[in-house]
Copies of this chain bind each other. A is one copy, B any other.
Amino acid sequence: MKRLKIKEINSCENPPEKALIGGWVRTRRDSKTFSFIEINDGSCLSNIQIIADSSIENYDNIAKLTTGSCISILGKIVESPGKGQKWEVQAEKIDIHNNAPEDFPLQKKRHSDEFLRTIAHLRPRTNKFSSVFRIRAELSQAVHSYFYEKGFRYIHTPILTASDCEGAGEMFSVSSDSVKNGFFFSKPANLTVSGQLEAEMMALSLGDVYTFGPTFRAENSNTSRHAAEFWMIEPEMSFCDLEQNMDVAEDFIKNIITRTRKNCSEDLELFNRFVDKTLFETLENILENRFVRITYKEAVEILKKSGQKFEYDPVYGADLQTEHERFITETEFKKPVFVYNYPKNIKPFYMRLNSDNETVAAMDLLVPKIGELIGGSQREERFDILQKRMEECSINKEEYWWYLDSRKYGSVYHSGFGMGFDRIMMLVTGVSNIRDVIPFPRTPGSIEF
C-alpha cells in the first residue's frame, strides 16, 4: 500500500476510507482507553491526529511513544470533531520504527536559532525549519517555471574556473593530490563567483538563458547576510537593453513571490505570525508597486539634499553605502528602487559604457529591509570599447580571448542580472540570518555536517 501524505489527505474532499500514513511523533496524550498521537510527516506544516484504541495489540508500547519517534499507521480516515483539523485517523495497526530516547533535543519548547544551527541535521524537524525548506523548494521551482515558460534555457555554467569574473572577489582555490607534478587542470583553478561570462556565450547562441547554481566567496567575515557558499540565479538575454533588463527583473521577482505566496500560504503564515509581523506588508509593498527607477546621479542628489546625517557623506563617484541604499528605498521612496547608470570607475569592465563616456549601463535593485537584491547591467558588446575597458581595468586580454571572440563574431547588445537565491529566501520568509535559510550553511569556521 502506498503511503498517503498528510498534505494529500488535507487537500482531499473525499479521502480514501483506509490509508497508510507515516510520520514523526510531535505530541502524545492519553485518556483511559485511548492514546492521541499528533504526527507530522514533513509534507506540510499541519500535523494529523492519530487515535489509538487500547485494544491495539502493541498498545503498551504505543502508550510509551516519545516526541521524535517514528511510526507508520494503517487506519481509517474520519472527520475530526476537533477544531482546526478536517481529518483524523483511527488506527488499526501501528508500526513503531523507532522510539526516540528521552534526550531527543527537540522537545516541545522553544529553541533559539543559535542552538538549532548546532543541530542542522535535526532542525528541519521543527515547524519553523521544515517550513523554511518547503518554501525554499517552492521558490526554486518558481524560478525554473518562470524562465521555462518564457522560453529561457537553463544552462550549467562551470563551478571550477580559471578566471575571476569580478576581477576582485576573494576566491577559493581548488587542488588535487591525484596529479603529482603541476596542476590538475594545467593551471590554477578556483571556485566560481559568477557564471555570467560563460552565460553570455550561451545567450549569444541560444538567445535567452539562465543559470541557477552554487557560487562561492572566500570572504573571511561573519555577517548575517553572507555565506561562503550560496546559490545564484543569473539570466542573460540577447537583444536586450538595460530598460528591458529592469523590466524582466521586476516581473521575475513579482512572479516568483506571487507563486510562492499562493503555494506556501500555510508555511508563510507562520513567518508572518512568529518571525516578522510586517512580512506580508513587505511582500505586498513589492507586489503592488511599480518599482522606482532613478539614475545613480539622481540618487546622490537625493542623498545630498536629504538633510540626513550619514556616517559616510554621499559623494558622486563613490559606491553607495548600505546606509545610503536604505535611505533611498526605505525612507525616500518606501518601495523597491532600481538605481542605474553608475560611474564606470566603480563597476567591472564588462558593463556597457554610456554615451557620456563616464557612466556604465549598470543597475542595482534596492528593496526595503533587504538592501541590494539584484545587480545587473547591459554588457559591453563593442569589441574596441571592451578592449579599452579591459586595459583600463588591468584585465589580462589573452586570458579572455574567448570572451573577446564573442564580440568579434556576431556580437549584439545584451543584458543580464544576478540574484542571490538565499537573499530572496530571506526576503520571502522574513528570516534575518542567512544561516537559517540554507540547509547546511557554510561560513568561516563552520563546515560541520
Contacts and interface: CB of A to CB of B under 8 A. Distances in A.
Nearest to A21: B239
A100 B408 contact: yes
Interface in A88-134: 97-98, 100-101, 104-105, 119-122, 124-125, 129-130, 133-134
Contacts of A302: none
Interface stretch (A30-38, A149-157, A317-325, A366-374): A149-157
A27 interface: no
A411 B137 CA distance: 23
A374 to B, nearest CB: 20
A130 B205 contact: yes
Interface string A259-294: 000000000000000000000000000000000000
Interface stretch (A49-57, A67-75, A329-337, A428-436): A67-75
A229 interface: yes
Interface stretch (A305-313, A348-356, A437-445): A437-445
A413 B159 contact: no
A357 interface: no
Interface stretch (A79-87, A183-191, A385-393): A183-191
B439 A156 contact: yes
A178 to B, nearest CB: 4
Contact of A160 (B68, B156, B179, B447): B447
A218 B220 CA distance: 26
B409 A5 contact: no
Contact of A70 (B157, B187, B410, B447): B410
Tell me the number of copies of this protein.
2
Interface in A209-229: 213-214, 216, 218-220, 228-229
A156 B100 CA distance: 27
A445 B177 CA distance: 14
B137 A449 contact: no
A162 B447 contact: yes
Contact of A214 (B104, B154, B156): B156
B151 A205 contact: no
Of the candidates A121, A218, A219, the one having the most CB atoms from chain B within 10 angstroms of its own CB is A121
A64 interface: no
Contact of A448 (B130, B148, B402): B402
Given A121-B402, A178-B218, A405-B121, A410 B158 contact: no
B121 A133 contact: no
A43 B207 contact: yes
Interface residues of A, number: 103
Given A121-B402, A206-B134, A218-B176, A198 B409 contact: no
Contacts of A202: 124, 133, 439
B406 A121 contact: yes
Contacts of A162: 447-448
A172 interface: yes
Nearest to A144: B144
A150 to B, nearest CB: 10
Interface of A: 3, 5, 7-8, 22, 24-25, 41-43, 68-70, 72, 97-98, 100-101, 104-105, 119-122, 124-125, 129-130, 133-134, 136-137, 140-141, 144, 148, 151, 153-162, 170-179, 184-187, 189, 191, 198, 201-202, 204-207, 213-214, 216, 218-220, 228-229, 231, 238-239, 381, 402-403, 405-413, 438-440, 442, 444-449
Given A156-B439, A158-B449, A185-B445, 18 more contacts: A22-B238, A70-B412, A72-B239, A98-B412, A120-B201, A121-B406, A133-B153, A133-B205, A141-B144, A158-B447, A160-B172, A160-B447, A170-B178, A172-B176, A185-B442, A185-B444, A198-B440, A201-B449
12 contacts: A72-B239, A72-B412, A97-B410, A98-B381, A98-B411, A121-B402, A137-B155, A156-B231, A173-B174, A179-B220, A179-B444, A184-B445
